[in-house]
Chains A and B, each alone.
Chain A
């Protein structure tokens, strides 16, 4: 037996929001990778460490949002 329809609609909105946020983070990560690669090819190696750290943080945020989506999904199906 599922949750009431109102709860399901709210959960769907939350999942949509998380999905949109993951997409935005991914675009930022793509830009970061491109910028770091350009600076590396230009001979500046100083951007590699902060680039990797920020990219790792963005990836961690994406994983966190995915876990959130899984939890909301499990909650709705309960």
Chain B
């Protein structure tokens, strides 16, 4: 039996587990550099993700016209959210007057927050950074948004309202876009 006994005075578990808990928590410079390099790889993957999104989101064929609702269903000053031209593109339909409808992309041109229509101020507001757009033509009125909201061209066929195209807003200093008027539904 004495042959099987360990010569060391240390208990068996101490001999088997040679790493102290304190040493386990110790991070060497090499390990820390490795961690930073892995973080750098994560940043690079993020950049590739943005690149892939921007490459695949480029516009292809022009969107097909889409019925977005019946004209009489919306009260004056009321809004309705619809998706055009793809399910990932939320838009805002606003009834400005008895025979006046406008529609804009619901994504703020600053950081793509969802904008909403303030009926009292009669303007479109972004809650993220207090940006505001004119409800009549979509041009930015205040805050950080750099350019007008993309407008949705509307057509009225009988009693139905149809979204037919997206008109991208140009840069802020282009006078022609600011003075171009609102896209009215053709009655």
Contact = CB atoms under 8 A, between A and B. Distances in A.
Nearest to B40: A62
Nearest to A18: B33
B50 A36 contact: yes
A66 B35 CA distance: 10
Given A22-B37, A55-B43, A37 B109 contact: no
Contact of B109 (A42, A56, A59): A42
A41 interface: yes
A43 B168 CA distance: 10
> How big is the B interface, by class?
20 to 34
B50 A40 contact: yes
Contacts of A52: 44, 47-48, 50-51
> Is the contact region of chain B dominated by helix, strand, or loop, or is it mixed?
helix
Contacts of B41: 59
Nearest to A73: B30
B53 interface: yes
Contacts, number: 94
A41 B111 contact: yes
A41 B32 CA distance: 33
Contacts of B30: 15, 69-70, 73
A51 B49 CA distance: 11
B39 A26 contact: yes
A74 to B, nearest CB: 10
B51 A26 contact: no
Contacts of A18: 33
Interface string A15-38: 110110011011001101100111
A9 interface: no
Contacts of A45: 54, 57-58
Interface of B: 29-30, 32-34, 36-37, 39-41, 43-44, 46-48, 50-51, 53-55, 57-58, 109-112, 146-147
